[in-house]
Structure 1
């Protein structure tokens, strides 16, 4: 290939061969990942996914910053399934939202029957006949009348 090639012609994408070699080192991979994701290296290591995400990244010859961020937040390389269920469950997206991935952690039998901690019941004070208090029409879906 000639030296006057454009960025679109570069098979390495935004990371040239020198940067690709640097990412072969786990510590450098984590440093770059921390810079891109906004999480520091200890936080990335705490996900338990550093080695798996590093292997996933090295398996892709063409890399870009967006793909690396996507991998950390969602647990999958763009356009692919997550490398494991664990990768999805430990994605940074859940830490960002301070939530648990659906179905990843059992909340306990009957936990759905009570309002979340700190949440006011529908309609204020509890009353009989309504799921979380208030009158039956106040507990209706979308604030409408029960049908």
Structure 2
């Protein structure tokens, strides 16, 4: 996943004229892929696509920022994550290749090993 520096800021919902077009699951994924910079298969791989779709449909006012927030944080802005799974599958953790705090037990003695992706010094 990477969004090029020259990627224009896109108001994806404006191109529909009405956010009701997000009721179609495939269209929802297409829009979210464009907004987040992750492709549709990566969004599906989180296991959150249908839950995030339901969350989006439950809100009358929908905008690009709320959709991005939902995918990266696992919660609609101003709300708590809908589940622990929504939190630990947030795209924020995938973006910087980290485990969400409190969700992955590193195991006894892990302090003696280099962090995942880290180099020995």
**TM over 0.5: same fold?**
yes
Structure with more contact order per residue of length (Cα contacts < 8 Å, sep ≥ 6): 2
SS in 1 for 2:18: helix
Task: State TM-score, norm by structure 2.
Answer: 0.80
Gaps of 5+ in 1: 1-13, 121-147
Change (3 A) 1:48 1:87: same
CA root-mean-square deviation: 1.8
- Structure 1 or 2: larger helix share? 2
1:73-132 per-residue CA deviation (whole Å, 9 max, x = no partner) reads 0001111101111101000001100111011111112212x0415232xxxxxxxxxxxx
CA distance in 2, matches of 1:111, 1:92: 25
SS in 2 for 1:98: coil
| Aligned match of 2:49 | 50
The partner residue of 1:116 within 98, 114, 117 is 114
SS in 1 for 2:78: coil
Q: Is residue 99 of structure 2 the alignment partner of residue 100 of structure 1?
A: yes
| Aligned match of 1:59 | 58
CA contact (8 A) 1:15 1:63 kept: no
Change (3 A) 1:17 1:34: closer
Greater C-alpha radius of gyration: 1
SS in 2 for 1:79: coil
